[in-house]
Structure 1
Amino acid sequence: MLDYKQLKKDIIEYAYQIGIDSIGFTTADPFDELKQKLVDYHAKGYASGFEESDIDLRVNPKLSMPTVRSIIAIAVGYPNKLKGAPRSVRGDRRGMFARASWGQDYHTIMRKRLDKLAEYIKTRVPDVEMMSMVDTGVLSDRAVAERAGLGYTGRNGFVINPDLGTWTYLGEMLVSIPFEPDDPLLDSCGDCTICVDRCPTGALVGDGQLNSQKCISFLTQTKGYLPDEYRSKIGNRLYGCDTCQQVCPRNRGINTEHDDIVLEPEILKPRLIPLLQMSNKEFKNTYGHLAGAWRGKKPIQRNAIIALAHFKEETAIPELKEVAINDPRPMIRGTAYWAIGQIAGETERDFIEQHLADELDEVQEEMVKGLEKRN
């Protein structure tokens, strides 16, 4: 008869050998406590639209794999210090990708580890059934990790691991093996509200809840015009936002590194102006391996334009004019005209008005707004 207790110990030992930093086991019971939270979350309009919309799928593992008897949760820490990072200075302004997007796409990183773990389990239990999920799966990675004892959910909505902090990629594996579950970690943020207080847009609404519609991380990934009230908030962020993790006291002194998470300072903190007219091929070749490239170049270019407006970078005006006149995408043209107005104001009024009559209504709105509503 298979010794599940020993198998669990062996799996844990093997997991550490293949670059998994934390591992826990839980049951395949439905996440009943999560269901009402998700119902309320959607009712309040907090959802980003990137999540699985079927709440039953999100809370019941058996709907994904009827034979599941346990869930193995894993966490891999990622670095949050960029050694040799280039400086952003006047005349040479740079943007920033969030830390979760540093190195190779984390879906690939996690999938490789889960595949290795699955292969090992298969050698021990040949007839096992398994299903792995990373971020794009239907289950809540955070709910699984929390119940499996990897950490507790902080006020910033992230799972806080005792050794890794919040700087973790999460994933899980559904298995048809009845492992003994681990106990959840009993801890909390106490009276600390620093992440809620420091969130640039007030997206953190308390007790780990997030209004995705106000979250800079979500906003940087949208493809349309960025709402006016958030343009002054994103700074030089091209993808994602790390503020609520950077200020978290539980993250002090933590910086996990792995050989397969290779940091490229010039790519992770790129010059803004060269991004503006980059071709699809150039973008894919340069940034395609990053998780932050998953939505394509359009949001990144829009954010780069807004960042230049944030810096009031006058040296970018010639390039912004090229984009405003020649880019085939109305949203990019409109944002470029807006940025020109924000940076140069009355100095470029003649240029903007000269092209006003030839533009679409949506672009005209941005042209006028750029001159009238300077941040």
Structure 2
Amino acid sequence: MKVEELKQDIIQYSQSIGIDKIGFTTANTFTGLKNILMKQIELNYHSGFEEPDLDKRVTPALLLDKPQSIISIALAYPSKMRERVAGKKGERRGIFCRASWGEDYHHILRNRLQQLQDYIAEKVPDARFKFMVDTGELVDRAVAERAGIGWTGKNCSIITPEFGSYVYLGEIITNIPFAPDKPIEDRCGTCTKCMDACPTGALVNPGQLNAQRCIAFLTQTKGFMPDEFREELGNRIYGCDTCQTVCPENKGKDFHFHPEMEPNSEDVKPLLKPILKMSNKEFKQRFGRMSGSWRGKKPIQRNAILALAHFKDETAVDDLSDLMFTDPRPVIRGTSAWALGKIGGEKAKQELEKALTTEKDPEALEEIQKGLSFL
């Protein structure tokens, strides 16, 4: 079978297994990308979750011997819940970002990539492959851009004409020499809505993100949330969608192609107070299938405490006081103290004054003093 025929075959097969968009590009080094990545590290704009070897991030030949092509895929995910739940006073809810709705997208994409790889291997038995999703070495967005999946928006997301930026990305490196597809022209123009709307100013330049200021990153950290970002968090307990929801290219874009991506509204917009004292087992049972659980329960619990402070939820004072005195983790004790100060009231003040005499951890003590300073 000729390579062009094989390519058309693969495109047809990809559609039959639920791949929403597919593109092909060369396996050449991503020239210029290494300098951009180095600059991000120098400026401390990187998240630290990335592959540390920059050469592997830009050189497919370091990941597969004599590669010829990269196949890039995109799957569209929903932007709206079909079943909604509303927060009420005393029953406040947090929110997981859309990329954490449904089953963990890493599993979904790996499944599609494996099916695609197996199909090609049947046609070309001596072909070689390496596929990856998100946590792999290559920069998914750079691959997708070069393969014509979409363009890189000012919000650093790949934006597709069909699905906006609500897509998951993955790729397969192979030694089959497919003809490359053409990149798509940038359609952002002079629009800066995403940059203007970013709550923390994390989008420092068009297409340049300071991850250390990005709420999506901050919700995944495990230590104390830096003071300047605590009130910007709102009720987000994992991720942030602001730069996507304001994007004109995403207007009216909402696709429900994949049942496993459908959100359970009670899980993606959960009641906050029950999260505070969840055991590890309860957390895994409730949230374990979602990508937003990957850092464990501590960041989610800390963010839930900050969300209760955001709502000034007086019904949470007893729960937060209990955490402040009994939780073994200084970050949870201290964050609870800060939240009590933000919520305010005589009971909160009394509890904070009492904690001042019993707390031994210096960082937690500092948070208690901060809490008292608000009263």
1:1-375 equivalences under 5 Å are 2-257=1-256, 258-345=258-345, 347-359=347-359, 360-373=361-374
Deviations 1:276-327 (A, max 9, x none): 0000000000100000000000000000000000000000111111111111
CA distance in 2, matches of 1:318, 1:346: 12
Structure 1 length normalisation: TM-score? 0.98
Whether the 8 Å contact between 1:67 and 1:129 is mirrored in structure 2 is no
Q: Identity of paired residues, percent?
A: 54
- Give the residue type in structure 1 aligned to 2:368: M
Alignment partners' CA distance in 2, 1:371 and 1:20:
54
Post-superposition shift, 1:337? 1.1
Structure 2 distance, partners of 1:348, 1:222, is 27
Residues 78, 262 of structure 2: 8 Å contact kept = no
Deviation at 1:344, TM superposition (A): 1.5
Q: Partners in 2 of 1:162 and 1:140 — Cα distance?
A: 21
Q: TM-score, normalised to structure 2's length?
A: 0.98
Deviations 1:31-71 (A, max 9, x none): 01211111111111100000112111110000011231100
Q: CA deviation at 1:335?
A: 0.5
Distance 1:321 1:41 in 2: 41
C-alpha deviation, 1:146, in angstroms: 0.1
When the two chains are superposed, the root-mean-square deviation of aligned CA atoms in Å is: 1.0
Whichever residue aligns with residue 268 of structure 1, its letter is V
Q: Could you tell me how far apart the structure 2 residues matched to 1:369 and 1:228 are?
A: 10
Separation in structure 1 between the aligned mates of residue 232 and residue 112 of structure 2, nearest angstrom? 36
SS across alignment from 2:232:
coil
Structure 2: how far apart are the matches of 1:373 and 1:318?
Answer: 18
What SS does the corresponding residue of 1:173 show, helix, strand or coil?
strand
- Distance in 2 between residues matched to 1:110 and 1:361, nearest whole Å: 44
1:348 CA displacement: 2.4
Q: Distance in 2 between matches of 1:326 and 1:183?
A: 59
Task: Give the Cα–Cα distance (whole angstroms) in 2 for the partners of residues 262 and 154 of structure 1.
Answer: 25
CA distance in 1, matches of 2:224, 2:165: 30
| Deviation per residue, 1:82-126 (Å, 9 max, x gap) | 122210121110000000000000000000000100110011001
Deviates more, 1:115-124 or 1:348-357: 348-357
Gaps of 5+ in 2: none
Contact 1:346 1:371 in 2 (8 A): no
Deviations 1:322-344 (A, max 9, x none): 11111111110111111111101
Instruction: Report how far residue 206 of structure 1 moved.
Output: 1.8
How many equivalent pairs are there? 373
Tell me if the contact between 2:151 and 2:186 (Cα under 8 Å) persists in the aligned partners: yes
- TM-superposed CA distance for 1:346, in Å, is 5.0
